Chains A and B, each alone.
Chain A
Amino acid sequence: MSAATGALLASVHLRGPHVDFAGLSPLIALLGGATLVLLAGLVRSRALRAHGTPMLALISLGAAAGLTIWQWGASKSIVSGALRIDALSLVLNLVLVAAGAGTVLLAWRSAGAREATGELYALLLTSLGGMSLLVAAQNTVALFVGLELLSIPLYVLCATDRSSVRHRREHSIESGLKYLIIGAVGSATLLYGIAMIYGATGATDFSAIAAALSSGSLASDPLTLTGIALCAAGLAFKASVAPFHQWTPDVYEGAPTPVTAFMAVATKVAALGVLLRFFDVALIEAQPSWGPALAALATITIVVGNVGALGQSSMKRMLAYSSVAQAGYMLAGVVVASQLGARATVFYLAAYMFMNMAAFAVVLVRERESDLGDSLQALAGLGRQRPLLAGSMTVSMLALAGIPATVGFAGKFYLIDAAVSGGYTWLGVVIVVGSMISLGYYLPVVAQMWMRAPAAAAARTEGLPALAGGSSELADAGPPAQGAEGPPTPEVALVALLAAAGAVFFGVIPQPLFDLVHGVGGALGGLF
């Protein structure tokens, strides 16, 4: 009797799987935030919706950041080994959350958000959740789920431009559709690759795959190698690595600028994060096979990105090609499969966040203020009208080109160092050559802002010319700054200033960033 009761009690006592909620908490904050934002979209008051939803989004991002920091120093596998909470995923989480917060601020007054139903922020948070999942994924199923969770909201986001200008609306929808179709091809390729690797090794877990590859001749098995090839292509697509980059300029140009900023920064962080973990943990044994292939892809990417960016008149297209080139630089850190390489890549990702956020924020301001949209001409004379904004853009361009005393220099230095000590000196040379070409499109932006005047130049006070540059005393006589047209956008300017300040600060004092990424190398177990 008592035994029967005991058995009954035992069967009633629900035994769920053990869930490490602490490890999952940043993800929960993001996805929970998405749900809350959607619900808040039902509030009747329009003003409350317009400002409440982004506030909620920011709060959930803040919570995610706080929880990430709470987890700092953790090194554990959760959800039956599907996810890994370690230095790599935590650092990248922080970068992602920062990029997300920047995007929310950029989108606050955008045309898409004017509908004020909050979908934009909900989609953004969902996509961030997918990214957070992706950088922590350590089995191929979680990887794929993360990738899709990242991508599907993005397809929609690209098509959310509700601008009153018809061709912009159409562009936006076109870009969303393009992204969807090409994205589907990319996802399919990746899935094939995953399936083949599973077929060859019988494992989905990264460590199990690594173990399978280390035994016997599996690392040179055609099935495995085809799988790796397809995975590389699929992930390269997300990171916009050439020749899988072609969607990038079109989608970046067509999507609403805040979304473009988000794609440029956050998607790249997630894609390179997963590339690092997948290739440096699961496929580390096959590095002799994929190293040269990825190095070749990196070279093609650097060349195509830099060459393609030359002569673009649309800032967003130019930045799209520039992001292709930057992906090529960062791929160098993956190629070498060393702790140094992993650290350099993550360092560059953080740097990249600052540099690109500043650039896109300034583009957005000009887009709202002038009729010229995101064209290069819209920036003409910005130096005189809005010196702080022009300064932010200048810092961003110089940092992207890798000029010393900006974070871009430290990042490139780190990557080149990693490439050289990993035995890929020629790849370091390619990075330098690419940076040289890149000046050809970054510097015209700076020149446009400071050297082209929208109004006539200040009249000289006397006849004899200045011989060694101008002087501030003469500039006194110049016209006062022209008042900016369009709605005031203090929060966008704030993003630009903060990001530029970060790019300079970490360029002069890079040590905190070095310290931040220090643990990343050790997190990927098998690296030397």
Chain B
Amino acid sequence: MATTTWGWLVLAFPLLGTLSVAAGYRRLPGRSAGWIGTASVLLAFIASIGALLSLQGHVPAHRELVSSLWNYASTVGIDAQMSILVDPLSVFMILVVSGVSTLIHLYSISYLQDDRGYARFFSYLNFFVFAMLLLVLAGNFLVLIIGWAFVGAASYLLISFWYRRTTATRAGLKAFVINVVGDVGLVLGTYFIFKHTGTLDLLRTFHSAGAPVAFGAHHNHGDLVAGCVLLLVGAFAKSAQIPLHAWLPDAMEGPTPVSALIHAATMVTAGVYLIARMHVLFELAPAAQDVGAVVGAATLLIAGTIGLAQTDVKRIIAYSTMSQIGYMIMGVSVGAYAAGLFHLMTHAFFKALLFMAAGSLIAAMAGEQSLDRMGGFRRALPFTYGSFLIGGLALSGIPPFSGFFSKDEILLVTGERGGWHWALYVIGYMGAALTAIYTFRLIFRAFHGEPVPAARELEAGTPHHGAPSNPMTGEPEDTDVGFPGPTHTIAERALTMRVAMGALSVGAIGAGLIQIPKVDFLVTDFLRPSFADTSLYEPHTRNGLLVLGLVLGAALGLAGIALAYRLWVVRPGSAAAIGARLRPLWDLFVHKWYFDELTDALIVKPALRAGSFAQSTFERLFVDETLIGGTTALVRAGSAAVRAAQTGFVRYYAALLLVGVSGVGLYFLLQS
């Protein structure tokens, strides 16, 4: 079978899954919707492996294969085709996406049991997987934009999945609005790039980007810089980078598997993929690269500090996700393509694992997410605790867990760039220490210390169940459709959840071993054909820097854990004391660097104030009365005039006909 056929199959299975679950939701008994959804994504994963094997059968120089299903429009200078591009980069992405998705579907089968929206959930989730695979397989800007928009829509649907929860619908709206800002960026960026290269096909774009097309040999690439910066806007919005990050913490309102899949492992890494995919263009626009690197570094540090001070379990992990994606964005922006994508993969494993474990923990608390009410779950939830520990160690970059190798590689390449990149290098290691602290703060506070009542009840065998309420606001809820179902499932009591978490644990522990400095370069070697045209790709490592980085990474991670242990286990309460002493700094972190307030003050409030001012003066007098009133009056008057002329009497028609003919005739006579 041709390699691209495998690619089409990868797309076909989730699409079939979503359609069949959506069409048959009334007739699917029990958990069959979940199994159908899982099976379709599993088939996509198998097809991805097929694509991988088939791709490796080609010689490295011919591993970029394009297949077009049909031409959307190849006319008037546009070549919009429904085409996919199967190359090492896209195969790498589909493997990660479909693989992690399969496990998360499996987890959801039990986690969402008894939810009234069970079938809807799986049809949305399959739709998301389809959209994400479409995004990464796109061979044409048109398909890329479609996939990009579909992913945003799927994210909106899933964040607002419990659609009768006020907070969830508001979060969905917020995510959608910010994502649309990104979509606009992507579309405008595409326009500029199209203007420069005259083609929408990705490969042709890359080939012709370097060759000036319009203004002779001394082209300044202004279009490319504009295009790449606009692409970055799209990437930042999808990947929750500052200042377009505010939606991601709120997106935690969605069911926990959604957080694991979309807001940790796959969708939010789309920005990283985009920059890696467009690396040819970005290297021709160094200004855009620098913007990406600086924003990535800023995000990784700021998100890390915010993670220190939050108390909502899922939000802490969400800020950690922002921070880790900051590493990846920084990496692919400084040319550490293989390292950035390697980190994308390991992060997908350990972050999905952390979210799954958090989901189990939250289930044990019957939906409660606040760290302040948790504690001592170590004995009640042994499996969850173990998974959390593995995920946390990988996230903190402790050897030999996977995060250790991937994070250090990004920072190594950043350091090698020299110059002001050293600042990014330092920020990266500061972020690494912070990561260890906030991760183990979470683990120590939730699992160590005195067991809370819920944990005791669980140890005794009767899970804790209160009246359902919104964990954010305490509003009363019921368990019907539009709210979470009545059952809360912990991993200890559901086989599918344990299988999924177990598989991810293996990945979180061992995935780092496929790319160890000086030992093996599996990822680098595999991705090389996609990055054949860049000089930044080949590792030319300075040994000293390499050893320094590895030692520093491990030491900072361990130091962070030790500090967290001292603050939250040995002397609980000392953290609060430090917080009190550094009140301004602590407040800054608790209030998320006041980004929401800043957005509020800089954009929302002025817009509202300008709006209300304009409403009372400009709007009411000029727009309403003159423009709208005028236009509607004009249209209405026109409508009335047309109808008045439409008397139904032939003699009037004939008269108007004569007037018309005379008018046209007169015009022509004036021409002569």
Contacts and interface: CB of A to CB of B under 8 A. Distances in A.
Nearest to B480: A462
A446 B656 CA distance: 34
A181 B668 contact: no
Contacts of A485: none
B642 interface: yes
Interface in B73-95: 73-76
Contact of B72 (A228, A244, A464, A509): A509
B664 A510 contact: no
Given A307-B639, A467-B169, A511 B163 contact: no
Contacts of B72: 508-511
B671 interface: yes
A282 to B, nearest CB: 15
Interface string B630-643: 00000110110011
A333 interface: no
Given A181-B654, A308-B643, A461 B480 contact: yes
Contact of A293 (B25, B26, B172, B667): B667
B73 A514 contact: yes
A511 B71 CA distance: 6
Nearest to B481: A473
Interface in B625-672: 635-636, 638-639, 642-643, 645-646, 648, 650, 652-654, 656-657, 659-661, 663-665, 667-669, 671-672
Contact of B665 (A226, A247, A474, A514): A226
B367 to A, nearest CB: 17
B160 interface: yes
B665 A229 contact: yes
A297 interface: yes
Interface stretch (A30-38, A230-238, A388-396): A230-238
Interface string B285-315: 0000000000000000000000000000000
A181 B160 CA distance: 61
A41 to B, nearest CB: 32
Interface string A437-456: 10000000000000000000
B481 A182 contact: no
Interface string A276-306: 0000000000000110010011000001100
A314 to B, nearest CB: 12
Interface string A184-228: 011001000000000000000000000000000000111001101
A480 interface: no
A91 B76 CA distance: 20
A246 B481 contact: no
A490 interface: no
Nearest to A303: B638
B642 A307 contact: yes
B117 interface: yes
A476 B480 CA distance: 14
B646 A307 contact: no
Nearest to A305: B642
B73 A471 contact: no
Contacts of A181: 650, 654
Contacts of A225: 668-669, 671-672
B482 interface: yes
B617 interface: no
B71 A466 contact: no
B592 interface: no
B120 interface: yes
Counting chain B residues whose Cβ lies within 8 A of the other chain, the interface size class is 35 or more
A237 B73 CA distance: 34
Contact of A243 (B71, B478, B659): B659
Given A182-B653, A417-B76, A468-B172, A246 B645 contact: yes
Contact of A222 (B26, B478, B638, B672): B672
A233 B661 contact: yes
Nearest to A514: B75
Nearest to A250: B648
Nearest to B167: A467
Nearest to A179: B650
A221 B169 CA distance: 70
A215 B419 CA distance: 74
B665 A304 contact: no
A410 interface: yes
Contacts of A230: 661, 665
Interface in B592-645: 635-636, 638-639, 642-643, 645
A186 B664 contact: no
B444 to A, nearest CB: 37
Contact of A473 (B120, B165, B636, B648): B120
A219 to B, nearest CB: 9
Given A249-B646, A510-B72, A511-B73, A462 B478 contact: yes
Given A308-B639, A340-B76, A473 B665 contact: no
Contact of B482 (A437, A471, A514): A471
A209 to B, nearest CB: 16
Nearest to B475: A464
Contacts of A182: 650, 653-654, 657
B116 interface: yes
Interface string A466-501: 111101111010000000000000000000000000
Given A243-B659, A462-B480, A467-B166, A178 B73 contact: no
B215 interface: no
B464 interface: no
Contacts of B117: 471, 473
A311 interface: yes
A293 B642 contact: no
Nearest to A470: B163
B70 interface: yes
Contacts of A17: none
B164 interface: yes
B668 A228 contact: yes
Given A233-B661, A304-B642, A467-B164, A221 B480 contact: no
B653 A247 contact: yes
Best-surrounded residue of B120, B164, B478 (most CB of chain A within 10 A): B164
Given A237-B657, A465-B164, A467-B165, A311 B639 contact: yes
A308 B639 CA distance: 5
Contacts of B163: 466-469, 471
B646 A233 contact: no
Contact of A232 (B120, B659, B664): B664
B661 A250 contact: no
Given A182-B654, A462-B480, A468-B160, A233 B660 contact: yes
Contact of B478 (A178, A229, A410, A464): A464
A440 to B, nearest CB: 8
Interface string B99-128: 000000000000000001100100000000
15 contacts: A182-B650, A182-B653, A182-B654, A222-B669, A233-B657, A233-B664, A250-B646, A304-B638, A307-B635, A307-B638, A307-B639, A321-B642, A471-B163, A509-B70, A514-B74
Closest 5 CB pairs of A and B: A468-B163, A225-B668, A308-B642, A229-B668, A307-B638
Interface of A: 178, 181-182, 185-186, 189, 220-222, 225-226, 228-230, 232-233, 237, 243-244, 246-247, 249-250, 289-290, 293, 296-297, 303-304, 307-308, 310-311, 321, 340, 410, 414, 417, 437, 461-462, 464-469, 471-474, 476, 508-511, 514
Given A293-B664, A417-B76, 8 more contacts: A222-B669, A243-B660, A246-B645, A246-B653, A462-B478, A464-B478, A469-B163, A473-B117
